[in-house]
Amino acid sequence: MIRGAAGLAFVAGFIGCSSTTPEGPYLATGIKIGEVTTTSALVWARLTRSPQRVASDTDYPDIQYIHPESGELVPPPPWPATPADWVPVVEYPQGLTVDDLEGAVPGAPGEVRVLYRGANETEWRTTDWAPVESARDYTVQIPLGDLLSDSEYALRVEARPEGSNTVSAAIDGQLRTAPDADEPARVVFGSVTGQDYINRDSPDGYKIYPAMLERNLDFFVHTGDVLYYDSWAKDMDLARWGWSQMYSLPTNYEFQRQIPTYFMKDDHDVWLNDAWPSQISSFMGDFTFAQGQQIFLEQVPIAGDTPYRTFRWGQDLQIWLTEARDYRDPNTDPDGPDKTMWGEEQKRWFMETVQASDATFRIAINPTPMTGPYTDPIEMDNHTNMAGFAYEGRELREFIARQSNMVVIAGDRHFQYVIEDPETGILEFATGPASNEHARGWSNDDVRPEHRYINVVGGFLLTTVTRQNGVPILLMQHFSVDGELLHEERLTAQ
């Protein structure tokens, strides 16, 4: 990636975001770069009415619930309860709307284009100006093609009013394309889960993001729970406010313009805790599961509407990003061969593409765990739960165990771990949550035989594929939120 003085000279233009006119539109929620391949990438942008977010000293709406038995307004239930027959009532402070809440960045009409050039190029290539879509929260996704593999590119995203010739705001970005499948290249990526706004650990957002920037990532995978809708997203306007609030944070804004990200979702960033598509609940008010799916696709760079996908990064690495919400049967259905979390089409795609891959190391990245651990005997949300999707989980673990040099990365869990499945021997690495404030759900004193590492902390997982004396090596490292190395596993290709 582009780093240091040479990198700044290469970018040569704007640093971060700048505005050339006072009228806007602006880019206060930044840019996101995603879906990077050997020859292409996707750039996401959103136009905003103001150049900065609403200050953090504003009030929040008051949300209470109509109790089904008494009919009276009651406070929210204790987390993580989401009673299906409770009906929310949202009251804004007098005179305020969703546009006035902390971190709000209202959208604005206008047009966006991307300028980009390789490290050895002197001329910018330019996309056409593209209008943002008001129905999609004033966002736009612009594809970049005809890129060279394993190459660094500087980006400049520009905004302007509709029909104007004057640029009103700009942000610089950068990316590295993936190496070709026959190239034994060194690749480094980070991953994390569980990013709750109320559990920020820095005045600017989250400590993990500057810590990861120090690691010169080629890309980043957010494994889901990008934000937590449950307690406040009672309609689409509030849900979109949450995305603006999260990605106008300085740490997130700065990270996303520099590091391409593959986004995944889980329950909290599609609807509510342990959600499935056919679930019926009044707890989320006017906000539906389908609307959560729609908003996710508008707020992150994803090509098309298929959330599961795979990406090859050189001779030694291929990753699979799976989808754990859109196709699942009800959690409450009896477990068995006909119950599925992934859906038959995704499961067939996964097995066929894994078997067809000749990458040295193959990594399945899942929003939820395949091996555990869990403590709640009635939990039924994932592949580790006997009352949940245990049959399919066993099927997938046995399939992965038959593959050479394949491991699993898991999101969802509010702690870090490395588990060696006692039945199949596969290794699962839980990324852990984005902050220590969000870490919970286990005890560090409860260490079991299958636990090669377990730690109730926030931080991130760093994955490095490299070669030593010509031999492919997979290095999996857990870091604290401040970038301190906590644990590592070094795997040699067999």
Q: Note the pLDDT of residue 3.
A: 36
Q: Which residues contact 389 (CB under 8 A, 6 or more apart)?
A: 328, 335, 339, 340, 341, 380, 382, 383
Q: Note the pLDDT of residue 12.
A: 34
Q: Note the pLDDT of residue 9.
A: 34
Query: Is the preceding omega at residue 80 within 30 degrees of 0, hence cis?
Result: yes
**DSSP character for 382?**
S
Q: Which residues pair with 466 in a beta bridge?
A: 473
Q: What is the mean pLDDT of residues 326-337?
A: 97
86: which 2 tokens?
């409770």
Q: What is the mean pLDDT of residues 40-68?
A: 95
| Residue 213: pLDDT over 60 | yes
Q: Between 6 and 146, where is the model more confident?
A: 146
CA distance 229 to 272: 6
pLDDT band (50, 70, 90) for residue 75 = very high
CA distance 42 to 130: 14
- Looking at the chain, the whole-number percentage of residues with pLDDT higher than 70 is 95
| Residue 73: pLDDT over 60 | yes
Q: Note the pLDDT of residue 310.
A: 99
Q: Note the pLDDT of residue 20.
A: 53
**DSSP character for 129?**
P
For residue 304, the tally of other CB atoms under 10 A from its CB is 8
Q: What is the mean pLDDT of residues 244-254?
A: 99
| Residue 243: pLDDT over 80 | yes
Q: What is the mean pLDDT of residues 13-18?
A: 46
**DSSP character for 374?**
-
Q: In sequence order, what E strands does 183-231 have?
A: 187-192, 219-222
Q: Between 484 and 13, where is the model more confident?
A: 484
| Residue 375: pLDDT over 90 | no
Write down all domains in the chain, each with its CATH number in brackets. Answer: 4-50+109-176 (2.60.40.10), 187-224+307-492 (3.60.21.70)
CA distance 491 to 203: 38
| Residue 304: pLDDT over 80 | yes
The pTM for the full model equals: 0.95
| Residue 359: pLDDT over 80 | yes
The answer to whether residues 107 and 136 touch, using CB atoms and an 8 Å cutoff, is: no
Q: Note the pLDDT of residue 138.
A: 99
pLDDT tens string 470-490: 999 999 999 999 999 999 999
Q: Between 374 and 303, where is the model more confident?
A: 303
pLDDT band (50, 70, 90) for residue 13 = very low
Q: What is the mean pLDDT of residues 178-192?
A: 99
Number of C-alpha atoms within 13 angstroms, CB side, residue 298?
A: 21
Q: In sequence order, what E strands does 288-370 have?
A: 309-312, 317-321, 361-366
Tell me, what amino acid is at 403? Q
**DSSP character for 283?**
T
Q: Which residues pair with 312 in a beta bridge?
A: 318
pLDDT tens string 111-131: 999 999 999 999 999 999 999
Alpha carbon of 23 to those of 26, 47, 113, 217: distances in Å?
9, 12, 18, 36
365: which 2 tokens?
């990245």
Q: Note the pLDDT of residue 386.
A: 84
Q: Note the pLDDT of residue 59.
A: 81
pLDDT tens string 393-420: 999 999 999 999 999 999 999 999 999 9
Span of 14-23, 59-68, 159-168, 406-415 with lowest mean pLDDT: 14-23
Mean of all residue pLDDT scores within the chain: 95
Q: Note the pLDDT of residue 408.
A: 99
Q: Note the pLDDT of residue 57.
A: 80
Q: Note the pLDDT of residue 372.
A: 75
